[in-house]
């Protein structure tokens, strides 16, 4: 996989091949998003930084050194985006959301380095939950609906929808952990 | 809250963990009200159970990111959309914004087909466009920027300092614009609650209502209440009564606490502790009247050794050895006009000889400032070595010519004191606790 990544990134660099770069994005986006989550404690911000980093990586693709690790290169770019964000977000520092984010970062968990395994286990667990529950995840996490909009579609109250999401996510996490333990 | 979330039926017994998980889910989705955010913050700040609350919250955040990564292609679609837009009008907008010094973050919401972001984006872009055009007109009329809310004021200036291009004098009000302190100058800022920041040039900083963002240079903080220091690679929260020294060079920060406690992103520092790149160590500061052995500080990636080298007619050279407790060491052999740098173990680079500034037999002010692979001399000469510079667990001066080296001072972490005197009462009141 590492060799494939390097080849795709090299092709993107040398030939401006967007399809090759799309393969790099497909293979690396979860790792970059998870890494940024650990460093921001904010999934929305993490995704925006990761998107910005991938856009920058495409724009600066000629700076990639063939034979090295595209993952490490992309994470370095993402981290520089995060530093740039920190420099520019001073005005929001007082904001309550920023305070929560900083408090979460004080308790940053260790990196388990198991993103790929976790994602596989999570997908397997998703296949086991009921259709209605999976539909809720799809609406919120795949289609980007707000939980209020999802609640309206499902005919439940908004606060109940968020509680349901929260409980289902915890169950999914437990399920994925069990699967990983059994596999390990 | 509903007892049965799957039906949306009446309120009932939601446990603390369930509530924290729900709040974390809402936080991850960006949907919490101010009241919810406050409640979430209070859970996280709880001195006894804050850690367990944060652990629960992190689990939810992780699952949200995993689900987004595993279920949809919206993220990838957005990246593709952005690549397709590459080179179009937004680049012009950003460039123009940058030229005007507008600090608006570049991480705007981006289009995402059939998603929450897309629904929000079109009106946001229209509004942002209108605001940006208005800002262009406003900036064109008002030059470099405008003053805003007063956040702190200038207490003392040694040399010169500026705010948004205008000179600062004692008594000046300071707002959100950038403060620039040139090399050799020093600025003391005071907040209404009694907090103090001393900036030593060259330094760049932006004041906050209860804190400061330091992008470059050295700062010494006295926190009357909680005081937040934004650094390029970390955030420091100094608790009330804390005195903290900061140094930022090339976007890398070094933090030292001389009294009280201060929290970094990943750890809390107590009095006498410092951290570089989140690596903690004992903050050490010693002085010797003449050439002598240093005490044995803990390994630290950043350290400074200052001194004066005074040659006499019999002197041939002086040695300064720097060891890190293993076989890794560095020997600096000073001779009139030159210095030889030798690694004590096999090195691909071999010994290097560099010229020393000034007259060969003249008195020389030395400053060895180590930071990872860079060794900076007082003259500004920077040596880039092939390996990391030893973390300085011991510094030894060659006995034969130890008398040549005088006024030696060593510190790791940030400099314990500002270079120039500070007269402010709030500084002097606790100054005796300042040196580590």
DSSP 3-state assignment of A181?
A: helix
User: Mutate which of A106, A125, A133, A171 to test chain B, going by most B C-beta atoms within 10 A?
Assistant: A106
Q: Which residue of B has its CA nearest to A141?
A: B68
Identify the DSSP state of A141.
I
- Structure confidence by residue, pLDDT tens digits, A60-102: 899 888 988 899 899 888 888 887 777 665 444 446 787 788 8
DSSP 3-state assignment of B268?
A: strand
Listed as ranges, residues in chain B with pLDDT below 70 are: 1-13, 81, 84-148, 250-251, 277-278, 288-302, 311-316, 322-328, 344-350, 355-403, 430-436
Selecting from B2, B28, B114 the residue whose C-beta is nearest the C-beta of A160 gives: B2
Largest pairwise CA distance in chain A: 54
Helix axes A158-183, B50-71, angle to 10 degrees: 80
Please calculate the CA angle B211-B212-B213 and round it to the nearest 5 degrees.
140
Q: Are A37 and A115 in contact (CB under 8 A)?
A: no
Q: Where are the beta strands (DSSP E) in B98-167?
A: 152-158, 162-163, 166-167
Q: In angstroms, what separates the C-alpha of B291 from chain A's closest C-alpha?
A: 42
Selecting from A107, A122, A145 the residue whose C-beta is nearest the C-beta of B51 gives: A107
- Please state, in angstroms and rounded to a whole number, the distance separating the CA atoms of residues B436 and B427: 16
Closest CA to A139 of B26, B70, B115: B115
- Please state, in angstroms and rounded to a whole number, the distance separating the CA atoms of residues B152 and B190: 6
Q: Which residues in chain B are contacts of A138 at CB distance < 8 A?
A: 71-72
pTM beyond 0.80, yes or no = no
Closest CA to B243 of B416, B54, B419, B51: B416
Partners of residue B207 on adjacent β-strands: B212
Please give the pLDDT value at position B285: 77
The mean pLDDT value of chain A amounts to 85
Instruction: Tell whether A22 is within 8 A of chain B (Cβ).
Output: yes
C-alpha distance from residue B214 to each of A152, B1, B39, B323 (Å) = 46, 44, 30, 32
Tokens of B317: 């050279």
Please give the pLDDT value at position B291: 46
- The residues, any chain, with a CB within 8 Å of residue B159's CB and separated by 6 or more, are B181, B182, B184, B185, B186, B201
User: B231 — phi, psi (to 5°)?
Assistant: -120, 160
Whether B72 sits inside 8 A of A172 (CB atoms) is no
Please give the pLDDT value at position B316: 67
- Please state, in angstroms and rounded to a whole number, the distance separating the CA atoms of residues B69 and B401: 65
Q: Where are the beta strands (DSSP E) in chain A?
A: none
Identify the DSSP state of B283.
-
Partners of residue B234 on adjacent β-strands: B231
Burial of B289 (0-12, 13-18, 19+ CB in 10 A): exposed
Instruction: Tell whether A60 is within 8 A of chain B (Cβ).
Output: no
Other beta carbons within 10 Å of A2: 10
Please give the pLDDT value at position B174: 93
User: A166 — phi, psi (to 5°)?
Assistant: -60, -45
Tokens of B164: 């948004």
Q: Which residue of A has its CA nearest to B101?
A: A88
Please give the pLDDT value at position B361: 64
DSSP 3-state assignment of B421?
A: coil
- Please state, in angstroms and rounded to a whole number, the distance separating the CA atoms of residues B312 and B335: 11
Q: What is the ipTM for the molecules in this complex?
A: 0.75
Closest CA to B337 of B320, B372, B314, B362: B362
Residues in chain B: 436
DSSP 3-state assignment of B319?
A: strand
Q: Are B238 and B223 in contact (CB under 8 A)?
A: yes
Q: Are B282 and B258 in contact (CB under 8 A)?
A: no
């Amino acid at each position: 996989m590492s060799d494939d990544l390097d080849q795709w990134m090299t092709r993107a660099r040398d030939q401006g091949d967007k399809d090759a770069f799309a393969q790099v994005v497909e293979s690396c986006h979860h790792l970059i998003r998870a890494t940024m989550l650990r460093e921001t404690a904010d999934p929305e911000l993490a995704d925006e930084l990761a998107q910005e980093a991938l856009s920058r990586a495409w724009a600066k693709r000629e700076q990639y050194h063939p034979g090295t690790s595209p993952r490490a290169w992309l994470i370095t770019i993402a981290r520089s985006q995060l530093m740039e964000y920190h420099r520019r977000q001073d005005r929001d520092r007082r904001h309550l959301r920023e305070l929560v984010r900083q408090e979460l970062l004080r308790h940053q968990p260790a990196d388990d380095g198991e993103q790929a395994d976790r994602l596989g286990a999570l997908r397997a667990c998703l296949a086991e939950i009921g259709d209605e529950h999976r539909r809720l995840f799809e609406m919120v996490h795949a289609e980007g609906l707000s939980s209020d909009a999802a609640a309206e579609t499902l005919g439940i109250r908004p606060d109940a929808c968020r509680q349901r999401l929260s409980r289902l996510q915890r169950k999914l996490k437990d399920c994925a952990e069990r699967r990983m333990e059994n596999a390990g | 809250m509903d007892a049965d979330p799957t039906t949306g039926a009446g309120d009932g017994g939601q446990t603390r963990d369930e509530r924290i998980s729900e709040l974390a889910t809402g936080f991850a989705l960006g949907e919490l009200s101010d009241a919810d955010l406050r409640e979430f913050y209070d859970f996280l700040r709880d001195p006894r159970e804050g850690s367990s609350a944060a652990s629960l919250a992190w689990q939810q955040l992780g699952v949200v990111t995993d689900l987004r990564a595993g279920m949809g292609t919206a993220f990838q679609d957005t990246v593709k959309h952005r690549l397709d837009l590459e080179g179009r009008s937004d680049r012009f907008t950003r460039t123009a914004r940058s030229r005007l010094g507008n600090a608006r973050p570049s991480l705007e919401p981006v289009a995402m087909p059939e998603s929450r972001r897309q629904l929000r984006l079109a009106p946001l872009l229209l509004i942002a466009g209108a605001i940006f055009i208005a800002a262009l007109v406003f900036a064109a009329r008002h030059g470099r920027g405008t003053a805003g809310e007063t956040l702190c004021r200038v207490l003392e200036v040694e040399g010169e300092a500026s705010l948004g291009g205008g000179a600062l004098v004692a008594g000046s009000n300071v707002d959100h614009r950038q403060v620039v302190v040139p090399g050799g100058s020093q600025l003391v800022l005071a907040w209404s609650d009694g907090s103090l920041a001393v900036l030593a040039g060259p330094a760049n900083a932006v004041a906050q209502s209860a804190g400061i963002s330091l992008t470059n240079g050295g700062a010494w903080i006295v926190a009357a209440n909680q005081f937040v220091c934004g650094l390029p690679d970390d955030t420091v929260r100094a608790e009330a009564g804390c005195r903290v020294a900061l140094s930022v060079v090339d976007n890398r920060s070094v933090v030292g606490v001389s009294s009280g406690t201060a929290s970094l992103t990943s750890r809390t520092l107590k009095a006498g502790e410092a951290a570089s790149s989140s690596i903690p160590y004992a903050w050490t500061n010693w002085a010797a009247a003449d050439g002598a052995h240093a005490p044995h500080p803990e390994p630290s990636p950043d350290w400074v050794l200052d001194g004066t080298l005074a040659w006499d007619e019999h002197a041939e050279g002086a040695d300064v050895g720097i060891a890190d407790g293993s076989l890794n060491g560095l020997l600096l052999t000073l001779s009139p006009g030159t210095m030889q740098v030798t690694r004590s173990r096999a090195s691909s680079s071999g010994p290097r000889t560099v010229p020393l500034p000034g007259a060969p037999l003249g008195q020389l002010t030395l400053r060895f400032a180590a930071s990872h692979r860079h060794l900076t001399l007082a003259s500004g000469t920077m040596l880039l070595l092939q390996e990391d510079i030893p973390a300085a667990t011991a510094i030894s001066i060659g006995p034969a010519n130890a008398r040549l080296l005088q006024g030696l001072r060593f510190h790791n972490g940030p400099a314990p004191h500002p270079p120039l005197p500070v007269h402010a009462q709030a500084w002097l009141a606790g100054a005796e606790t300042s040196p580590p």
